[in-house]
Amino acid sequence: MIERALAFGVGGALIGVLCEPPAESANASAPAVLMWNVGIQHRVGPYRIQVDVARDLARRGFASLRFDLSGMGDSEARHGGPVDLQGALGDLRDAISLLEKRRGTRSFVVIGFCSSVDAAHELAVEDGRVVGACFMEGYAYRTRGYWLHYPKRLLDRHRWKRYLARRLNNLTRRRNDNLGNPVQEERAAMGSIFARRYPTQDRFAADVRSLRQRGCHLLFIYVGGDSEFNHLGQFSEMVGSSTLVEDIDVEYYGEADHTFFRVPDRQRVVDRVGLWMSENFGAALTDPQPLPATLRTSG
């Protein structure tokens, strides 16, 4: 594969890395994949996961651009422009223009992760060139099923074990993190993650329906632990239809955490995204090359 650093957008203010498969394995008509900042991290993402995704996709014949939004990572701030959702959408359109001009790409897949889901969702809904969208730890809504599963948290020995371990840790360190009970603690931890403004559940459901009607392929990945999503069936409740979900890929990794801290959890995501791309946008022209053994341990 080939990776190139590129400057694009107005005045070359945006910086990204284009990762392309070797010419012999490139799937010329395949969509290109876009990834950008997760939270305040630069384009590589938590624990470099977006680099791993990009390189796995290249092995499967797909090109990708991972880049920094205006004012983040290596990209310059937009002069006078908003550093918000609209600004991010403008940057995404610049990224699409770059790939259209440079590679002749006509269709795109967006991968949103946590906060970058906001722009991924909006762009997917409004731009017909987006033919696929992957949302990792994206929007979740507390449904009836969520509350029915909720009490399981209080019966989870791991949750109590963690609470006690943290309590002990903080006592020995003489720190005060305002620990309450395990549930309060996890909600405090979730605060920064879920502080964003979500679309209403009705709008989310309508958007998902409209994306599927348009033929846009969708992959949702949720984790357990401190997530607002606590069982696989929650998604069909969120969109109000079990039939609709039959056309959508939804994964629930109950053992993983929000940032995919553990290497096997991260590798599971990389593999799943790659497989989803191959299944929906053309099988890989070459078998993905094996990764180092340290990444091949099971989770």
Partner 1 sequence: MAHWAFRRLSGLLAREGFHVLRFDWSGTGDSWGHTSEGTVPIWLDDLAAAARELKDVTGASAISLVGRRFGATLAALASAGTIEVDTLVLWDPVVSGRAYFGELEDIDRRENTRLLRGPRLRPDELVGFPVAPELRRSVEEIDLRRAAGVRARRIALVADQHRNEYRELLEVAHGTGISTSYDHVPEDPSVTNAGQREAALLSARSLTAITGRLVGEAQRD
CB-nearer residue toward partner 1: 166 or 209: 166
CB of 267 to partner 1, least distance (A): 10
CB of 110 to partner 1, least distance (A): 20
Q: Contacts with partner 1 in 25-84 (CB under 8 A)?
A: 40-44, 46-48, 51, 73-74
271 touches partner 1 by CB under 8 A: no
Q: Contacts with partner 1 in 250-269 (CB under 8 A)?
A: 255, 257, 259, 261-263
159 touches partner 1 by CB under 8 A: yes
The residues facing 133 across adjacent strands are: 110, 218
CB of 26 to partner 1, least distance (A): 19
CB of 69 to partner 1, least distance (A): 13
Residues in the chain: 299
Contact partners, residue 233, CB within 8 Å, separation at least 6:
145
Q: Which is it for strands 108-113 and 32-35: parallel, antiparallel or unpaired?
A: parallel
Amino acid at site 97? S
- Which helix (H) or strand (E) element contains residue 213? helix 201-213
Q: Which is it for strands 32-35 and 64-67: parallel, antiparallel or unpaired?
A: parallel
Binding residues with partner 1: total (CB under 8 A): 38
Residues 84, 126, 177, 279: which binds partner 1 (CB under 8 A)? Answer: 177
Nearest to 133, CA basis, from 279, 283, 285, 273? 273
The residues facing 14 across adjacent strands are: 8
Contact partners, residue 150, CB within 8 Å, separation at least 6:
230
189 touches partner 1 by CB under 8 A: yes
Backbone angles phi, psi at 149, to 5 degrees: -80, -20
CB-nearer residue toward partner 1: 44 or 238: 44
Amino acid at site 165? A
Q: Contacts with partner 1 in 195-234 (CB under 8 A)?
A: 224-226
CB of 263 to partner 1, least distance (A): 5
The maximal CA–CA distance of the chain, rounded, in angstroms, is 60
Ranges of beta strands (E only) in the chain are 2-8, 14-20, 32-35, 64-67, 108-113, 130-136, 217-223, 249-253
CB-nearer residue toward partner 1: 132 or 274: 274
Spatial contact of 261 and 112, defined as CB atoms under 8 Å apart: no
169 touches partner 1 by CB under 8 A: yes
Q: Which span sits near partner 1 by CB under 8 A: 129-137, 165-173, 201-209, 233-241?
A: 165-173
CB of 99 to partner 1, least distance (A): 18
Q: Could you list the residues that contact partner 1 (CB under 8 A)? A: 3, 5, 17, 40-44, 46-48, 51, 73-74, 156, 158-159, 162, 165-166, 169, 175, 177, 189, 224-226, 255, 257, 259, 261-263, 291-292, 294-295, 297
